[in-house]
Amino acid sequence: NQELITYIAGMESLGLMKNESLMNVLFQYNEVYLDQLGDFVCAKINTICEEESYSEIQLNNHQDFVKYIEHYGIQIDEEDQSFPRFLPYSMMVKSINDIIQDAIQEIIIYNEDDNVLFYLNIDKLLCSIISTLKDHFCTESQMGIPQIATLCNNIEYLKKSIPFYQSCGYKCLKNDSIFSYNFSALALFNQFKSQCEEKLYNQFRIKINDFLTFVKEQEWSVKAVNEEPSEYITFIVEWLRVNLTTLAVHNSSIVYHACVT
């Protein structure tokens, strides 16, 4: 790419090239290549989405910590460093990060000496991935509260992985300007997360309304000591256990807002 660009620029400077046809061909070739790479990557992303279990990753030892956290430079805001413990995101984050890492290695082959084009192509790839995720999950009607909550966390930690993508690019180009590049994909991450949080909020409000409707129709009855609790009390405990304790602390503000409104 760079050799062809230099050749075209030299021809233009000598007045031997009267149009930009070769330069246009170069950029068109780059667009075709990136579109093909994007289609390949997004097909893999769709497979990951279809196979998503929404199960948080369990860390059993320090090797797991390196494999699932340290390798990607992800910052986990948790004081508990003991094992075993669970991460606030699912395997989707690791799988997508691995795909992006491989894709960056492919992009550098065609943009080795063109920093700006390299950064633009990474950004375009990230935007395509977010669009694929939105197309899959925003139309998914079978997701419950725990699944939506996990998806919110996944998006947050994919967004936190942008420094990892930058470091992958730095290893390719050895140019630290990538760390100051303003990726437009960041805004798309935030937009997608807001949509998922809104979906979580609405789902939780529906659950709360159903719960309050049930409570309103019940008669409060206290059982004697050593007797089984009433069905009403059992329902309350089970409802809270399923709909509150399974949600990560990262979504607590959404839950609180849904409750008070």
133 and 235 in a single domain? The answer is: no
- First vs last C-alpha separation in the chain: 57
- The predicted structure's pLDDT at residue 216: 73
Q: CA 16, CA 29: separation in Å to the nearest integer?
A: 23
Lowest mean pLDDT among 17-26, 150-159, 204-213, 241-250: 241-250
155 and 238 in a single domain? The answer is: no
Task: Among 148, 163, 197, identify where a domain stops.
Answer: 197
**What's the number of domains the chain is made of?**
2
In total, the chain counts a number of residues equal to 261
In a domain, 90, yes or no: yes
In a domain, 59, yes or no: yes
41 and 166 in a single domain? The answer is: yes
In a domain, 24, yes or no: no
Q: What is the pLDDT of residues 19-46, one digit of tens each?
A: 556 556 666 777 777 888 889 999 999 9
Q: Which two tokens stand for residue 69?
A: 């956290």
169 and 214 in a single domain? The answer is: no
Please state the pTM of the whole predicted model.
0.74
- Could you give the dihedral angle defined by the CA atoms of residues 215, 220, 224 and 227, in that order, rounded to the nearest 10 degrees? -30
More confident residue, 223 or 151: 151
65 and 146 in a single domain? The answer is: yes
184 and 211 in a single domain? The answer is: no
Residues near 116 by beta carbon (within 8 Å), at least 6 away in sequence? none
In a domain, 23, yes or no: no
Please give the average per-residue pLDDT across 89-94, as a whole number: 92
In a domain, 65, yes or no: yes
Task: Among 153, 179, 197, identify where a domain stops.
Answer: 197
Q: CA 175, CA 1: separation in Å to the nearest integer?
A: 18
112 and 160 in a single domain? The answer is: yes
43 and 78 in a single domain? The answer is: yes
In a domain, 4, yes or no: no
Q: CA 191, CA 126: separation in Å to the nearest integer?
A: 14
HEC readout, the chain: CHHHHHHHHHHHHCCCCCCCHHHHHHHHHHHHHHHHHHHHHHHHHHHHHHHCCCCEEEECCHHHHHHHCHHHCCCCCCCCCCCCEEEEEEHHHHHHHHHHHHHHHHHHHHCCCCHHHHHHHHHHHHHHHHHHHHHHHCCCCCCCHHHHHHHHHHHHHHHCCHHHHHHHHHHHHCCHHHHHCCCCHHHHHHHHHHHHHHHHHHHHHHHHHHHHHHHHCCCCCCCCCCCCCCHHHHHHHHHHHHHCCCCCHHHHHHHHHHHHC
Tell me which residue range forms the domain holding 38. Answer: 30-197
* Rg value, the chain, Cα: 25
Q: What is the CATH number of the domain that holds 134?
A: 1.10.357.30
- The predicted structure's pLDDT at residue 227: 60
In a domain, 11, yes or no: no
Task: Among 197, 220, 235, identify where a domain stops.
Answer: 197
182 and 146 in a single domain? The answer is: yes
User: What are the CA-CA distances from residue 194 to residues 64, 171, 187, 254 (Å)?
Assistant: 30, 32, 11, 11
98 and 208 in a single domain? The answer is: no
Q: What is the pLDDT of residues 188-226, one digit of tens each?
A: 999 999 998 888 888 888 877 887 787 777 665 555 555
Cβ-contact 8, 19 below 8 angstroms: no
User: What are the CA-CA distances from residue 229 to residues 180, 210, 226, 240, 242 (Å)?
Assistant: 60, 21, 9, 16, 18
250 and 181 in a single domain? The answer is: no
Sign of CA dihedral 243, 248, 251, 255: positive
